[in-house]
């Protein structure tokens, strides 16, 4: 990827002739230098008269005579005319991640290692957990740790506290790095497309708890992991990334869990990177991912 500062325009709209021409002409009229473009047209779904068009455009920041606030103001009339659902972000502004974990540490370890090495160029203002086990490890990294216990009787208050902490640190994305709790519908609704989960199964198979045990009982030959956006429907949110590994009859549940941890780490890291780079556009319960 290029290193100079750039703006990323990501958008979707009802398909029609001239979308790319209109958007690229707007950028060119303001001397904008396009660094990268990705486009995709979806055919109409059942009940729809037209399909949907998706685009992601990177623009060199110093080629424009104005910054994002003025870009948004000038672009808004064209976006309205094309019925665009759109956003534009600045590569110089680091996204702020809030990580949620329970007791399993492998995904947390991996993300913090990537953050520490600058491979994951983000800010992590805090980690929230329903257990205290990982406090020392998190605080050793200089990151604030918040213990928010979740019980059957306090879930509403617990998730209100999670939301308060997320807002307090101005979080952009919430990452469930093996957070073994089901978020409240209210919390899911507050941040659509901003909460990412790693599920230790190749969804839609084996939703919910103990998917490796379910897979073992089913005698599957492939196990996998799924990175997806969180919705109020358990493990049913739009899928960002998936991967699998082959197993056979000699593998016990414990082997499958061990293999699965490696897949979970890499799938979460890849899916999170696509999200952070504004490569994921959601349409209904599906995603378009510009890799």
- How far apart (Å, rounded) are the C-alpha atoms in residues 217 and 251? 12
* Angle of CA points 91, 95, 101, to nearest 5°: 150
User: 243, 204, 194: which is closest to 96 by C-alpha?
Assistant: 194
CA–CA separation, 173 and 61 (whole Å): 24
In the block, tokens 């929230």 appear at 128
User: Which positions are annotated as active-site residues?
Assistant: 235
3-state secondary structure of 224: strand
Spatial neighbors of 22 by CB under 8 A, at least 6 apart, are 78, 82
Other C-beta atoms within 10 Å of 132: how many? 11
In the sheet that 123-129 helps form, which strands lie side by side, from edge to edge?
A: 144-147, 123-129, 96-101, 173-176, 195-199, 222-229, 239-246
Q: What value, to the nearest 5°, has the Cα angle with vertex 183 and ends 178 and 185?
A: 150
């Amino acid at each position: 990827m290029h290193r100079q500062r750039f703006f990323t325009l990501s958008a979707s709209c009802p398909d029609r002739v001239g979308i790319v021409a209109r958007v690229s002409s707007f950028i060119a009229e303001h001397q904008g230098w396009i660094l990268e473009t990705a486009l995709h047209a979806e055919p109409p779904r059942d009940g729809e008269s037209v399909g949907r068009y998706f685009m992601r455009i990177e623009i060199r920041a110093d080629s424009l005579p104005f910054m994002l606030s003025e870009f948004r103001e000038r672009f808004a009339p064209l976006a309205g005319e094309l019925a665009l659902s759109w956003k534009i972000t600045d590569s110089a502004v680091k996204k702020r991640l809030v990580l949620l974990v329970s007791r399993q540490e492998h995904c947390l370890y991996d993300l913090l290692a990537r953050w520490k090495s600058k491979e994951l160029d983000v800010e992590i203002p805090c980690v929230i957990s329903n257990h205290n086990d990982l406090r020392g490890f998190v605080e050793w990294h200089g990151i604030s740790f918040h213990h928010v216990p979740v019980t059957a009787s306090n879930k509403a208050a617990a998730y209100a506290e999670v939301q308060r902490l997320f807002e307090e640190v101005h979080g952009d994305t919430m990452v469930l790095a093996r957070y073994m709790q089901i978020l409240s519908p209210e919390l899911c609704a507050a941040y659509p497309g901003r909460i990412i989960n790693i599920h230790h199964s190749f969804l839609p198979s084996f939703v919910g708890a103990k998917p490796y045990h379910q897979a073992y009982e089913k005698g599957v030959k492939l196990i996998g992991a799924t990175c997806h956006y969180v919705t109020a429907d358990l493990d049913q949110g739009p899928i960002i990334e998936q991967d699998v590994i082959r197993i056979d009859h000699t593998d016990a549940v414990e082997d499958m869990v061990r293999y699965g941890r490696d897949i979970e780490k890499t799938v979460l890291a890849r899916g999170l990177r696509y999200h952070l780079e504004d490569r994921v556009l959601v349409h209904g319960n599906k995603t378009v991912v510009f890799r």
